[in-house]
Amino acid sequence: GENVEQHPSTLSVQEGDSAVIKCTYSDSASNYFPWYKQELGKRPQLIIDIRSNVGEKKDQRIAVTLNKTAKHFSLHITETQPEDSAVYFCAARRAVYNQGGKLIFGQGTELSVKP
């Protein structure tokens, strides 16, 4: 069945260090992989995404890499800041036109950036 595994469940880093979160998906037909950031008591917000025809995507301090063969993708945050502290969720989606766009989420990673 469809499943996304996310590791680690918690991650603590010093301000300025890098953070890496990894996800593995089971559905080989998945072709879209977003990452959401959820601060305590707030809604999930998209921070970056990648499609299966791309191996890497960067947006300032955030980057995502995708290995389709191994069916895993990773989030990289460089020069972490205290405001990066939140729960991060990876997700995968099989997007076939008119046949659904549901997201399958990982379990989440609680990132803590210590000043």
Binding site for another protein (CB under 8 A): 4, 6, 32, 34, 36, 42-46, 49, 51, 89, 91, 95, 97-108
Residue (19 or 48) nearer to another protein, CB: 48
Sign of CA dihedral 31, 46, 41, 86: positive
Cα–Cα distance, 43 to 18 (Å, whole number): 24
Q: Find the shortest distance in angstroms from Cβ 27 to another protein.
A: 13
Q: Find the shortest distance in angstroms from Cβ 100 to another protein.
A: 5
Residue (37 or 77) nearer to another protein, CB: 37
Residue (8 or 101) nearer to another protein, CB: 101
Q: Find the shortest distance in angstroms from Cβ 80 to another protein.
A: 22
CA 92 vs. chain centroid, Å, equals 9
Query: Using only C-alpha atoms, what is the Rg of the chain?
Result: 14
Bridge-based pairing state of the strands 32-38 and 86-92 = antiparallel
Residue (5 or 79) nearer to another protein, CB: 5
111 phi and psi angles, rounded to 5 deg: -95, 130
